[in-house]
Amino acid sequence: MRKNVIVGQSGGASAVFNATLAGVYHMADDLQTNVYGMMNGLQGLLEDKIVNLGDYIRNQYDLEVLRNTPGAFLGSCRYTLPDYNEQPEVYNRIFDVLRKHDISSFYYIGGLESLKTLSKLCTYAKLIGCDDIRFIGIPKTIDNDIPLTDHTPGFASAAKYVATSVKELIRDSSIYGRDFVTVVEVMGRDTGWLTAATTLCKGSDCSGPDLIYLPEKVFDPEKALEDIARVRKNKKSVIVCIGEGCKLADGRYLCDVDESNSFTEDASGKRLLTGASRVFARMIHDRFNCRVRAVEFSALQRSACHMASKTDNDEAFTIGENAVKASNLKHTGEIVIINRVSNDPYQIRISVKDIKGVFNESKSVPTEWILDDNSGMTEEFEQYARPLIQGSVVTHYKDGLPLHMPYIIF
Ligand code: F6P
């Protein structure tokens, strides 16, 4: 008889979120397993919102389209499990649903907070002596802040998008030959991996961003304005890349300097970070009285499947397959991770690690990789990030636009 497994997606999207889902499906289906999907992660599971993925992924073509579809095919959530002592009924409910569907393995694709939630579930499973359901976490996030793994699926494709877009903006912003400052805002609440990746556009055909500011360092507006004055002495068009999570010395987010930016929340109920580029652009204008433009990539940088890195898409798929292999080898309470074997040639090895490690400190960009004058990143960053953005993904097109999977109507 076929076994049943279940998979869920949780947290913010990435261009390869669904590639991992496709990897899980592919390997589990190969192993003659029914693959259920929880709609909107644990939130949907609690309401028994479950679909049979085999009804939607009917052949190799569907699998390929899924791999290149943005967003989260199963829908996502920003759901944090309460502590068991406080709300045991939530845990009981989850296990009731899992038993009802006779689930033998549970895969959760998510970022740091989602993996922490899965870890709580693993601890509870141990507590109640449940050894017939295996729990495996599969990392994803454009923020690249998950400890234990060399890098996280999703980061590289977003990196390729921001580097390409900055490269294009550098051309656009120089057309008039007049004084101009462009401030580009990049995602990453606590870490600046993605902002750092904008420097990857530097090369023989591109000067790269002139200045970059990462959340890893306190943002000093006065010092940054001095940096701009320095660059303006030799250049008419200045490109500044800034992390959405940059904070001032007093602990406030830069975007909060303008209170009208705090009008909305992100999906976890936290203040949505938006507007750092507008705030800084205003400061630049007030100081230099020059033309300024603020560009915020926002969700575009995590949904650009047309610009995805093939390396990232392949790794995201493989990591999903490996999650299934791990549970088949009776692993549980672990996450699948990427170990880098070498940079040149770029080689990785996939393995698993105890999920409790996700409670370690989140992984920040080493500050020694940021050049002291904020003009870019060191060679170490280049060696770390460059291999990850290699290759392009062939997407299927329909009527001139990329083709995506149809929505699941539940
Ligand atoms: O998942 C990470 C992330 O993309 C952050 O970079 C960003 O600050 C946040 O998610 C946005 O959250 P939401 O998905 O709720 O818009």
Note whether 205 and 93 are same-domain residues: no
Note whether 290 and 320 are same-domain residues: no
For residue 265, give the ligand 1 atom closest to its CA.
15
State how far the Cα of 86 lies from the Cα of 49, in Å rounded to an integer. 24
Ligand 1 neighbourhood includes 215 CB (under 6 angstroms): no
* Chain Cα centroid distance, residue 150: 14
Within a domain: 184: yes
Domain boundary among 287, 303, 319: 303
Within a domain: 283: yes
Quick: pLDDT tens for 210-265.
999 999 999 999 999 999 999 999 999 999 999 999 999 999 999 999 988 888 88
DSSP 137-159: EEE--TT---TTSSS-TTHHHHH
Which of 130, 102, 134 has the alpha carbon at shortest distance from 2? 102
| Residue 172, Cβ density class (10 Å: 0-12 exposed, 13-18 middle, ≥19 buried) | exposed
Confidence of residue 410 (pLDDT cuts 50, 70, 90): confident
| Residue 61: partners with Cβ closer than 8 Å, 6 or more residues away | 396
> How many residues are given for the chain?
410
State how far the Cα of 311 lies from the Cα of 327, in Å rounded to an integer. 24
Give the CATH number of the domain where residue 7 resides. 3.40.50.450
For residue 189, give the ligand 1 atom closest to its CA.
8
Which of 110, 107, 152 has the alpha carbon at shortest distance from 350? 152
Note whether 216 and 323 are same-domain residues: no
Note whether 100 and 84 are same-domain residues: yes
State how far the Cα of 307 lies from the Cα of 74, in Å rounded to an integer. 22
Domain boundary among 260, 278, 303: 303
Within a domain: 50: yes
State how far the Cα of 368 lies from the Cα of 295, in Å rounded to an integer. 27
Note whether 65 and 139 are same-domain residues: yes
| Both structure tokens of 379 | 């060679």
State how far the Cα of 18 lies from the Cα of 76, in Å rounded to an integer. 11
- Exposure pattern of 73-89 as b/e (b: 16+ CB <10 Å)? bbbbbbbebeebeeeee
Domain that residue 184 falls in: 157-303
Which residue owns the Cα nearest ligand 1 atom 14?
Answer: 12
Note whether 171 and 266 are same-domain residues: yes
Report which DSSP code applies to 203: B
Within a domain: 8: yes
Note whether 28 and 107 are same-domain residues: yes
For residue 268, give the ligand 1 atom closest to its CA.
15
| Residue 134: partners with Cβ closer than 8 Å, 6 or more residues away | 104, 105, 106, 327, 330, 331, 332
Within a domain: 76: yes
Section 145-170 average pLDDT: 98
Quick: pLDDT tens for 274-330.
999 999 999 999 999 999 999 999 999 999 999 999 999 999 999 999 999 999 999
Note whether 31 and 93 are same-domain residues: yes
Note whether 251 and 213 are same-domain residues: yes
Section 37-48 average pLDDT: 98
Ligand 1 neighbourhood includes 302 CB (under 6 angstroms): yes
Residue 270 has a pLDDT of 82
Residue 266 has a pLDDT of 79
| Both structure tokens of 89 | 């009924």
Task: Say yes or no to pLDDT of 2 above 90.
Answer: no
Residue 389 has a pLDDT of 98
Amino acid making up residue 122: C
Note whether 181 and 201 are same-domain residues: yes
Quick: pLDDT tens for 324-383.
999 999 999 999 999 999 999 999 999 999 999 999 999 999 999 999 999 999 999 999
**Which H or E run includes 227?**
helix 221-232
Please confirm, yes or no, whether 372 is among the known catalytic residues: no
Ligand 1 neighbourhood includes 187 CB (under 6 angstroms): yes
Confidence of residue 60 (pLDDT cuts 50, 70, 90): very high
Residue 48 has a pLDDT of 98
Task: Say yes or no to pLDDT of 269 above 90.
Answer: no
State how far the Cα of 160 lies from the Cα of 164, in Å rounded to an integer. 6
Ligand 1 neighbourhood includes 270 CB (under 6 angstroms): no
Contact between 294 and 284 (Cβ < 8 Å): no
Note whether 171 and 293 are same-domain residues: yes
Domain boundary among 288, 303, 318: 303
- Number of domains composing the chain: 2
Give the CATH number of the domain where residue 245 resides. 3.40.50.460
Going through 53-190 in order, the beta strands assigned E by DSSP cover 103-110, 134-139, 180-186
Contact between 277 and 239 (Cβ < 8 Å): no
User: Which is catalytic among the residues 143, 210, 227, 312?
Assistant: 143
Q: What radius of gyration do the chain's Cα atoms show?
A: 22
Q: In which residue are the tokens 């936290």 written? A: 270
- Least confident range from 267-271, 282-286, 400-404: namely 267-271
Within a domain: 229: yes
| Residue 24: partners with Cβ closer than 8 Å, 6 or more residues away | 7, 35, 107, 109, 138, 320, 321, 323, 324
Quick: pLDDT tens for 81-140.
999 999 999 999 999 999 999 999 999 999 999 999 999 999 999 999 999 999 999 999
Q: How many CB atoms lie within 10 A of CB 223?
A: 11
State how far the Cα of 17 lies from the Cα of 7, in Å rounded to an integer. 12
Q: How many CB atoms lie within 10 A of CB 22?
A: 28
What spacing in Å lies between the alpha carbon of 187 and ligand 1's midpoint?
7
Percent of the chain with pLDDT over 70: 100
Chain mean pLDDT for the chain: 96
State how far the Cα of 388 lies from the Cα of 157, in Å rounded to an integer. 8
Within a domain: 373: no
Report which DSSP code applies to 400: T
Note whether 298 and 167 are same-domain residues: yes
Within a domain: 31: yes
